C-alpha cells in the first residue's frame, strides 16, 4: 500500500496520542497488547505441541524402530532368515533382532513390574537413543555372560538401586514341580543407568545382552521380534508391504502408527483444537483494533472534513486509517513473536518458577510422558500465525476506513 507524503504524515500523527486523545491511545495500546498475547500464545502452544510429537516420535522410534516383525506366539525360530529378508527389502535401512518380555524385579524388598529387552551387544552400543542417555555406569560393561544389565533412571529410583546393586528378575517360566511351576529368579548386577526422557520407558526398561535374555526366558536360540528402520517413517507401510508377503503367516508386522495410534491421534486432534481456540484470542484482539479505529474516526471527524475540503480523496483517507490499524496489528505481531520466542527459550525455567511460587507440581513426568517441557518451532506455522494475525488486523480496518472516507464535509462543517 503506497502512501503519499501527506498521507504518511497524517497516519503517523494518528498513531501518536494527541491532546484529549489519551483514552483512544489507551484503547489502541490495549489492542496491540491483545494481539501480542494472542500471537505469543499461539507460537508457544504450537511449538510445545510440535515438540511433544517430535520428542515422543524420536524416543519411541529410537527404541522400537519404525516397525517390528513379531513372531506368532511371541517367538521367531527362523529369525536369521527374516532379518536377511528384511535387510534385502528396498527402503529398509536396518533390521535388529531383539527380545521383549514383561517380568517382575525385586531389590531390598521392593518389587516393580519391568519390561526386559534383550539385544545383541553390538546393537546395544550402536543404539544412540540408549547410548547417549547413560547417566551412571557404562554400557560397555554389558557383555554376554557377565550378568550385568542397564536399567532406567526412574526404575532405579523406585527400587533404590544404583550401579553395582544386585537386583533379581522373576520369570514365570520356571521349573515344573508336582505342586506347579516354580518361578525362575535370577540375580543381575546393575552395570549402567540410563534416562531416555520418556517416563514410561525410564520406569520399566531393563536392557541386557540377547543371549542372557534367551537363557533367562528359556527361549533357546529364538527371538521375540525384529525391529525395522526404514528410509521414510511416513511411508513405512508401503515400504514393508513386500516383506509382509514374504514372512506370510510366520509373523505379523506392526508399524509405529499402529503401535502408538491413540497417542499420536490424540496429539493431532489437540493441536487442531488448541490452534482454533487460540486463534479466537487473536480475533478478539482484532475487534479491539476495530473499536479503537471507530473511536478515532469519531474523534477526528472535523479533521477529516477539513482534509476533504482541502482536496483529500476518499481513497487517501481509507489508506490512512487502514495503515493505522494494520500498523497496530503488525507491531502486536512482532511483539508477540518476540515474547513467544523468549518464553520458549526459558520455558523450563518458567515452569520451575511457577512450580516454586505455587507449590504445585505442574510437570509430573508420570502424566506428561516426558521429563522436560519440549519445544520445536515450525517456521511454516509461525509464518501462518503471523500472516493470519495481519490479515485479521487488515480486515478490521476496512469498516472504520470506509466510514472515514464517507464523511460529508458539508454536514460536519455546516455550523463551523
295, 301, 302, 303 alpha-carbon torsion, rounded to 10°: 80
DSSP 339-379: HHHHHHHTHHHHHHHHHHHH---S--HHHHSBSS------H
- What's the pLDDT score for residue 180? 59
Our separate counts of H helices and E strands in the chain read 17, 10
Contacts of 179 (CB under 8 A, 6+ apart): none
- What's the pLDDT score for residue 20? 62
- What's the pLDDT score for residue 366? 58
Query: Which residue stretches of the chain have pLDDT < 70?
Result: 1-3, 6, 17-21, 174-182, 261, 362-371, 410, 412-416
Q: Which residue has the cell 460529508?
A: 408
Task: List pLDDT tens digits, range 207-231.
Answer: 999 999 988 888 888 888 888 888 8
Rounded Cα gap, residues 118 and 206, in angstroms? 8
- What's the pLDDT score for residue 179? 58
Rounded Cα gap, residues 382 and 11, in angstroms? 28
Rounded Cα gap, residues 196 and 207, in angstroms? 12
- What's the pLDDT score for residue 288? 84
- What's the pLDDT score for residue 105? 92
- What's the pLDDT score for residue 19? 65
Rounded Cα gap, residues 260 and 233, in angstroms? 13
Rounded Cα gap, residues 348 and 363, in angstroms? 10
- What's the pLDDT score for residue 254? 82
9, 15, 20, 23 alpha-carbon torsion, rounded to 10°: 170
- What's the pLDDT score for residue 233? 79
Pairing of strands 225-230, 205-209: unpaired
- What's the pLDDT score for residue 40? 92
The region, left, alpha or beta by phi > 0 then psi within -120 to 50, assigned to residue 72 is beta
- What's the pLDDT score for residue 189? 92
- What's the pLDDT score for residue 369? 62
Amino acid at each position: 500500500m503506497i502512501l503519499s507524503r501527506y498521507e504518511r504524515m497524517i497516519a503517523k500523527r494518528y498513531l501518536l496520542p494527541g491532546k484529549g486523545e489519551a483514552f483512544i491511545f489507551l484503547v489502541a495500546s490495549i489492542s496491540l497488547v491483545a494481539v501480542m498475547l494472542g500471537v505469543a500464545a499461539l507460537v508457544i502452544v504450537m511449538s510445545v505441541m510440535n515438540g511433544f510429537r517430535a520428542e515422543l516420535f524420536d524416543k519411541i522410534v529410537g527404541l522400537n524402530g519404525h516397525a517390528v516383525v513379531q513372531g506368532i506366539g511371541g517367538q521367531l525360530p527362523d529369525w536369521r532368515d527374516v532379518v536377511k529378508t528384511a535387510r534385502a527389502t528396498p527402503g529398509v535401512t536396518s533390521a535388529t533382532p531383539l527380545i521383549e518380555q514383561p517380568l517382575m524385579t525385586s531389590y531390598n524388598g521392593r518389587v516393580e513390574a519391568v519390561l526386559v529387552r534383550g539385544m545383541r551387544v553390538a546393537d546395544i552400543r550402536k543404539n544412540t537413543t540408549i547410548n547417549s542417555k547413560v547417566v551412571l555406569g557404562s554400557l560397555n560393561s554389558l557383555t554376554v555372560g557377565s550378568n550385568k544389565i542397564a536399567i532406567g533412571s526412574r526404575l532405579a529410583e523406585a527400587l533404590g538401586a544404583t550401579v553395582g546393586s544386585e537386583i533379581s528378575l522373576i520369570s514365570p517360566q520356571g521349573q515344573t514341580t508336582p505342586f506347579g511351576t516354580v518361578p525362575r529368579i535370577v540375580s543381575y548386577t546393575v552395570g549402567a543407568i540410563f534416562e531416555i526422557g520418556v517416563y514410561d520407558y525410564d520406569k520399566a526398561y531393563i536392557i541386557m545382552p540377547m543371549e542372557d535374555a534367551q537363557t533367562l526366558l528359556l527361549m533357546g536360540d529364538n527371538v521375540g521380534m525384529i525391529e525395522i528402520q526404514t528410509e521414510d517413517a511416513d511411508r513405512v507401510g508401503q515400504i514393508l508391504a513386500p516383506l509382509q508377503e514374504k514372512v506370510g503367516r510366520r509373523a505379523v508386522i506392526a508399524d509405529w502408527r499402529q503401535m502408538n495410534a491413540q497417542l499420536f491421534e490424540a496429539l493431532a486432534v489437540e493441536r487442531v483444537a488448541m490452534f482454533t481456540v487460540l486463534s479466537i484470542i487473536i480475533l478478539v484482539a482484532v475487534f479491539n483494533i476495530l473499536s479503537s479505529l471507530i473511536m478515532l474516526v469519531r474523534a477526528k471527524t472535523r479533521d477529516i472534513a477539513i482534509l476533504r475540503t482541502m482536496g483529500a480523496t476518499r481513497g487517501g483517507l481509507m489508506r490512512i486509517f487502514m495503515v493505522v490499524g494494520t500498523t497496530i496489528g503488525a507491531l502486536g505481531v512482532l511483539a508477540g513473536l518476540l515474547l513467544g520466542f523468549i518464553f520458549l527459550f526459558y520455558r523450563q525455567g518458567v515452569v520451575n518458577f511457577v512450580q516454586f511460587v505455587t507449590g504445585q507440581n505442574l510437570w509430573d513426568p508420570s502424566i506428561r510422558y516426558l521429563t522436560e517441557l519440549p519445544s520445536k518451532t515450525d517456521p511454516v506455522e509461525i509464518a501462518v500465525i503471523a500472516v493470519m494475525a495481519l490479515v485479521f488486523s487488515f480486515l478490521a480496518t476496512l469498516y472504520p476506513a470506509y466510514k472515514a472516507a464517507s464523511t460529508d464535509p458539508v454536514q460536519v462543517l455546516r455550523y463551523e
